[in-house]
Amino acid sequence: MLEIRPNCECCDKDLVPDSTEAMICTYECTFCVTCVNEILENVCPNCGGGFVPRPIRPKMARRIGLSINHQPPSIERVHTKYSIEELKEFSAKVKHTKPEDR
């Protein structure tokens, strides 16, 4: 099940569960759309993959046991171990390759 992380791993911006600004990679690394576009340039600093908008878990259980109330978001904040310069250097090496070709 998708882990819904509470913050951008780069700038620490709060990303509430229904945020339309949250972006994830295939490993669920979570960043805000501003950091993805302006710092990471659509390159995950952990796996090198691209980003997509994070799905929003339904508030209402339209099927029994399936909603944000039944599978709550994580409260554990995650932070990148890399500096802004390291993030940009990594991105510069990878960004010219399409995500599907990485």
Q: Per DSSP, what are the bridge partners of residue 31?
A: 23
pTM comes to 0.92
Q: Look at residue 53 in the predicted model and tell me its pLDDT.
A: 99
What is the tens place of the pLDDT at every residue in 52-96? 999 999 999 999 999 999 999 999 999 999 999 999 999 999 999
**Domain extents for the chain?**
22-95
How many angstroms separate the CA atoms of 76 and 4, rounded?
10
Interval 23-54: pLDDT, tens: 999 999 999 999 999 999 999 999 999 999 99
Residue 45 has a CB neighbour count (10 Å cut-off) of 23
